[in-house]
Amino acid sequence: MTEHVATNETILVVGGGISGMTAALEAAETGKNVVLVEKNPALGGRTSQLYRYFPKMCHPVCGLEINLRRLKSNPRVRVLTLAEVTGIDGVAGDYTATVKVSPRYVNANCTACGDCARAVELEVDDPFNYNLGKHKAAYLPNAMAYPQRYVLDPAIIGTPDADKAKAACKYGAIDLDMQEETIQVRAGAVIWATGWKPYDAAKIQPYGYGRFKNVITSVEFERLADVHGPTGGKILRPSDGKEAKNVAFIQCAGSRDENHLRHCSRFCCMASLKQTHYVRENYPQDGKSTIYYIDIRAIDRFEDFYQKVRDDASVTFIKSKVARISEDKDGNPVVWGVNTEGYKRYSTPHDLVVLAVGMEPSVKGMDIPGHIVADSSGFIEADPANGAVFGAGCATNALDVNRAVQSATAAALRAIQVVNKVAKAEA
């Protein structure tokens, strides 16, 4: 599985989300060899976990499918899943990366028939659904997972469940003896596209995330709205499964806050505006959304999207950063604060509160192999000191999908220039 030939004309792409996939494909389509390393068992990253994109409200299935199609037809990209880069040595034009590959326990014979999942009894947290639901310990990461191949959770290895899975497989695809491997990958340039993680909402103590079940994050709300999500696309609140018809969106949950994230995460305003559509579509008669905001930053050309939501009678805008959230006896989260337009106090109960959490770079606090210059928020900066390690997508800035793709293309171009130089030097 991990056999490959990588030279110093190869481009190593770390992270297989929308940015990493884009960078890998752009480079490969110019004729470069690419190794794409993804930590999870499937490509797609956080983009695949969205229900819909703004501004066109189309499903990510579409955009990802195009990329997967390009990927399948391009022999120059080698994809390593369940793989993590643990170290990078060398200089621009000649790097060697150490990659740790975790066992999937399922080989290429898998047809994704699902017999193993039916045989296995243990259920584990489903990170694809932000742990809102559980899935079997033999699972397909998501409906459109690439590679379309099941995974066994390490928790069942050595238990009777693992043997059941093996027995159920008609294709001899389950290999319980797979071991963790460490491999070396040579590369002329590295594209670091490790993306982002939602800011840990539990750190915003007054909002009670983690204490109150009906206070959730915007990424979790995406899963609630998705038909492939834990509720089958019905917006039901976590505490009692009641229909959440009166939803509050709290902007700048962590962003633009010296106590949390210093930067504006840029996408959260648009995400909440988009998510008001989900509420209305789920409950066309009596769905209500309330957006609590400091100021709406519908970046780029999205002002008209914002204006349309403004005109929607089911959406209320309250100019106020919420001070705190409490819970009433019925489990409704109560939102407290002062409306700065008129300085009126409010304490309003809602069915569900959605915290529009900020974007934190995954590289923050991570031990990035090699020396990489980062800004005060932890995003990778474009700096000559980085050599031929180029940031792409949300590893470099708080970006939406559209801008992440642009950033990835730019990074691919920089990497291509490096390996072109290498090629000439060796010619």
Kindly list the residues in this chain that would bind another protein in the complex (CB under 8 A): 206, 252, 256-260, 294, 319-324, 336-340, 343, 345
Q: Hey, is 102 helix, strand or coil?
A: coil
Please state the separation of Cα 377 from the chain's center in Å: 18
Nearer to another protein by Cβ, of 72 and 345: the residue is 345
Least distance to another protein from the beta carbon of 323, Å? 3
Burial track 330-365 (b if 16+ CB lie within 10 A, e otherwise) = ebbbbbebbeeeeeeeeebbbbbbbbbbbbbbbbbe
Tokens of 131: 């742990």
**HSE (side-chain half, CA atoms, 13 Å) at 271:** 29
228 or 324: whose CB is closer to another protein?
324
74/340 with CB nearer another protein: 340
Q: Smallest distance from the beta carbon of 346 to another protein, in angstroms?
A: 9
Q: How far is the CB of 426 from another protein (least distance, A)?
A: 53
Specify the residue, 257 or 281, whose C-beta has the smaller distance to another protein: 257
The smaller minimum CB distance to another protein, of residues 344 and 371, is found at 344
Residue (41 or 208) nearer to another protein, CB: 208
User: Does the CA dihedral 240-244-248-252 come out positive or negative?
Assistant: positive
Comparison of 323 and 373: residue with beta carbon closer to another protein: 323
Tokens of 339: 């409306």
Q: What is the DSSP track for 37-90?
A: E-SSSSS-GGGGG-S--TTT---HHHHHHHHHHHHHT-TTEEEE-SEEEEEEEE
Q: Of 111 and 339, which CB lies nearer to another protein in the complex structure?
A: 339
CA 117, chain centre distance (Å): 25
Q: Which is nearer to another protein, 186 or 319 (CB)?
A: 319
Q: 202 vs 323, which CB is nearer to another protein?
A: 323
Query: How far is Cα 147 from Cα 76, in angstroms, rounded to an integer?
Result: 16
What whole-number distance in Å separates Cα of residue 309 and Cα of residue 306? 5
Q: Are 173 and 110 in contact (CB under 8 A)?
A: yes
- Number of other residues whose CB lies within 10 A of the CB of residue 415: 28
Q: How far is the CB of 337 from another protein (least distance, A)?
A: 3
Q: What are phi and psi of 413, to 5 degrees?
A: -65, -40
The angle formed by the CA atoms of residues 345, 348 and 353, to the nearest 5 degrees, is 125
Closest CB 268 distance from another protein, rounded Å: 14
Least Å distance, CB 377 to another protein, is 14
Q: Rounded to whole angstroms, how far apart are CA atoms 226 and 229?
A: 5
Hunting for tokens 């793989």 — which residue is that? 83
For every residue of 290-335, DSSP letters joined together read EEEESS----TT-HHHHHHHHT-TTEEEEE----EEEE-TTS-EEE
Shortest distance (Å) from residue 115 CB to another protein: 52
β 181-187/151-152 pair status: unpaired
- Shortest Cβ distance from residue 207 to another protein (Å)? 11
Nearest approach in angstroms of CB 319 to another protein is 8
* Shortest spacing between CB 254 and another protein, in angstroms: 10
